[in-house]
Structure 1
Amino acid sequence: MLEFLKEWYTTRFSDPQAITLVFILIGITLTLYFGAGLLAPLLVALVLAFLLEWPVAQMAKLGINRTAGASIVLVAFLGLMLVLFLVLIPSLWRQGVSLVTDLPSMLDKGMLVIRDLSNDYPQFISAEQIDASLNEFKKLLDTQHLLDFGKQLLGFSASLLVLMVYVILVPLLVFFFLKDKQQLIEGSKRFFPANRGLARKVWFEMDQQIFNYIRGKVIEIVIVGVVSYVFFAIMGLRYSALLGVLTGLSVLIPYVGATLVTLPIALVAFVQWGIGPEFGYLMLGYGIIQALDGNLLVPILFSDAVDLHPVMIIAAVLVFGGLWGVWGVFFAIPLASLVKAVINAWPNQPDNNPKLDLE
């Protein structure tokens, strides 16, 4: 066994560039895992600068210097974010508050339906189970829980000061990342070993794939969210803006997100219309949107960016989401593609040991 492990280690790690790549990946992983909270503004700025690099580069091709290009792109991006926060966020907040206010009556109506089902099919669900579930819901809505929620809101309000610091700090970092990109890259090379050719090869392979994935994911979120909102509004569904945004954001979690967001949509539609034609039409249209997203939009947007088996995608979402939360979920597929690129680029020397030759 020891000879086999020694032979495997010699075959896989005899290239100095492979060792360099391993240390670089371990260093980046440890930095992100232990310093993600402390370096959050820097990481957010890096991600935004990576996304905004393409328009800055296009302006540079037109003869606009990087300082002017970075300024124009950053101002346009901040203007777009300001419009979204002034127009979209207040509407979502109002609908969210309304949904929370109506939640008890929605649950009561759902419980009445379940009681009717219990009377018709007592072998599947009993009255005792319904009463136990109802008591749990009441506990969630009692005064003490509301007070605890109020305390959490106060804690969140206290963190708004930190958020304001981020609002000022992150745009400045993005501007300098865009303006001084080459200087920063050249300056960072001194912290990496000289024999980093394999790491450079992996980065060049992943650079365009990551950009294509993020760009495609943003486009997918916008298209699915807008189409869902328009459909919900035409159907007259309550909280259509909130549910449309949730549907758009659900594409961040492949396969799982669509399942999770279906539950509130079905609950709101059921409370509003009951089991009727409108409920059926809504769920049918929602299913068509999800089918078109998975079978038409995703292949068009990600045909050149993602070549991973669905099992690998779900595993990546679980692993990286558990490590880094929302950011881990968002970048799960690029990180899985990075792992695949490392495996494909890893030097694989032929094993000429006759003892291991099975031919």
Structure 2
Amino acid sequence: MLEVFKKWGRRYLFEEEAILLLVLIVGSILLLMTIGDILAPLLASIVLAYLMQGVSGQLVQHGVPSWLGVALAYLLFIGGFFGVTLGLFPLVWRQLASLAGDLPRYIDQGKQVLLVLPERYPGLVSSDQIAGLIELAQAEAASMGQIVVTRSLASLPGVFSVMMYMILIPILVFFFLRDRELILSWLGGFLPDERPLLRRIWGEMNQQFANYSRGKVLEIIIVGSVSYICFAWIELRYAALLGLLVGLSVIIPYIGAALVTVPVLAVGFFQWGFSNDFYVLCVVYLVIQGLDGNVLVPLLFSEAVNLHPVAIILAILFFGGIWGLWGVFFAIPLATMIKAVIYAWPSRGDIVAADVPVE
């Protein structure tokens, strides 16, 4: 077994740059798994600064001075950041608390519907099964309501953490935007002067991250805003909460849209039943999902992600497990980066084959 690892090392780790790249990958994964929560403000600031760097770069390309581009991008970030944290999140929290209070009533409505099933389909559903399902739903509703009330009363220590994040993140984003070149130059000083492999992988990774992350943020904003406007227009309850869920659902390909369909249609059913308003909601939701998948995504993402659906799902499970929501958000570009690393990784067999003259 030891000889097998030695042969593998001689084949793939014969260059200094390959060893350095392996150390960087393993070290980054260990940092995320061990102290990812502690570094959350720093990592969030890096991601947000990276997104706003695209805005600044576009302004500079249109003739705006560099310092003014950074200033305008930062002002845009500040407006969006405090607009979301002070405007959207409190509204969503109030609607979530309202939903928790309404759950017992919704369960009673669902109970009346479920009790009819054993009479209509006696061979498929029994009264005992329905009773157990209702009891489980009532217990979950009571637990959810208790959690909301408890966290509302005991969330004072968390308020200080939120306030600290609201101060730290804008400061860090400002310095990352202003001193981007200086920070990258300082980090590059720890790497070898000759690093063609790292430069090639960084170029591909930077392009993938830029296309995906900025396009995905725009998709979340557009889909979430349109969903909220449409839900509010048809007077659906908890429009802000459901609009946020629909917007965030685009982060998870294939699965997100299917998962968020359940609460949207459930709220519509408990509010209106099988009426014309409920069917209008179904049509509106299907139109939003159809326009997102067939119009918005092709416009925002200029380059197709050449990954198998199984690879995408595995990447979401893995990176989401070690990095939470950020891991889910960046699962596809991270998987693309791993693919680029695999294809670009030097192999002694490839070098030997390249040295053989072609007759």
TM-score calculated relative to the size of structure 1: 0.88
The RMSD of aligned alpha carbons is: 2.6
Q: Which residue of 2 aligns with 1:17?
A: 17
Shift of the alpha carbon at 1:4? 6.2
Distance 2:124 2:150 in 1: 40
Q: 1:318 to 1:147 in 2, by over 3 A?
A: closer
Deviations 1:176-226 (A, max 9, x none): 111112221222223334453312210111112101111110111122122
Does the CA-based 8 Å contact 1:16-1:195 persist in structure 2? Answer: no
Structure 2 residues without counterparts, runs of 5 or longer:
354-359
Q: Structure 2 length normalisation: TM-score?
A: 0.88
User: Which range moved further: 284-293 or 339-348?
Assistant: 284-293
CA displacement 1:131-165 (0-9 Å, x = unmatched): 222222333455x8755654433443211112211
Question: What's the % identity of the aligned pairs?
Answer: 45
Is the Cα contact below 8 Å between 2:211 and 2:301 reproduced in 1? yes
1:18-33 matched pairs, under 5 angstroms: 18-33=18-33
Counterparts of 2:147 and 2:103, CA distance in 1: 18
Distance 1:208 1:228, change over 3 A: same
Partners of 2:307 and 2:203 lie apart in 1 by 19
CA deviation map 1:48-68 (0-9, x unaligned): 1111112333455536343x5
Given that 2:252 and 2:316 are in contact with CA atoms closer than 8 Å, whether structure 1 keeps it comes out as: yes
Query: What aligned pairs does 1:107-256 form with structure 2 within 5 A after superposition?
Result: 107-142=107-142, 149-256=148-255
- Worse overlay, 52-61 or 215-224: 52-61
Q: Find the counterpart in structure 1 of residue 320 from structure 2.
A: 321
1:339 aligns with 2:318: no
Aligned equivalents of 2:191, 2:6: Cα separation in 1: 28
1:35 paired to 2:58 = no
Q: Residues 151, 229 of structure 1: CA spacing in aligned structure 2 closer, same or farther, 3 A cutoff?
A: closer
Q: Number of residues paired by the alignment?
A: 351
Partner Cα separation in structure 1 for residue 93 and residue 182 of structure 2: 43
CA 205–191 in structure 1, closer or farther in 2 if over 3 Å, else same: same
CA change 1:28–1:86 in 2 (3 A) is closer
Tell me how far apart the structure 1 counterparts of residues 310 and 189 of structure 2 sit (CA, whole Å): 39
Q: Where do 5+ consecutive residues of structure 1 fail to align? A: 354-359
For the structure 1 residues 36 and 193, does the alpha-carbon distance in structure 2 shift closer, same or farther, using more than 3 Å as the test?
farther
**AA in 2 matched with 1:302:** F
Residues 248 and 26 of structure 1, relative CA distance in 2, 3 Å threshold: same
